[in-house]
Amino acid sequence: MTINMNEGRGVIARYREFLPVSASTPVISLGEGGTPLLFSARLSERVGRGSQVFIKNEGVNPTGSFKDRGMTVAVSKAVEANARALICASTGNTSASAAAYAARAGLQCVVVLPAGKIARGKLLQAFAYGAQVVAIDGNFDDALRIGRELGEAGDFAIVNSINPDRIAGQKTAAFEIVDLAGDAPDLHLLPLGNAGNLTAYWAGYREYHAKGKSTRLPAMLGFQAEGAAPIFHNRIVEKPETIASAIRIGNPASWKQARTAIDESRGAVDIVSDREILDAQRWLARNEGIFVEPASAAAIAGLFRCSEAKSAAYSFAAIAEGSRIVCTVTGHGLKDPDALAHEAVDRAPVPADSAAVRKAIGL
Ligand code: F0G
What number does the ligand 1 atom closest to the CA of 200 have?
Answer: 13
Q: Could you tell me the distance, in angstroms and rounded to a whole number, from the CA of residue 81 to the centre of ligand 1?
A: 26
Q: Give per-residue pLDDT as tens, 318-337.
A: 899 999 999 999 999 999 99
What number does the ligand 1 atom closest to the CA of 295 have?
Answer: 1
Q: Is pLDDT above 50 for 280?
A: yes
Mean pLDDT value of segment 1-5:
55
Q: Could you tell me the distance, in angstroms and rounded to a whole number, from the CA of residue 99 to the centre of ligand 1?
A: 16
What number does the ligand 1 atom closest to the CA of 97 have?
Answer: 20
* Residue 7: per-residue pLDDT: 47
pTM, entire model: 0.96
* Residue 228: per-residue pLDDT: 98
Segment among 138-152, 276-290, 317-331, 340-354 with least mean pLDDT: 340-354
Pairing of strands 132-136, 108-114: parallel
Q: Could you tell me the distance, in angstroms and rounded to a whole number, from the CA of residue 112 to the centre of ligand 1?
A: 15
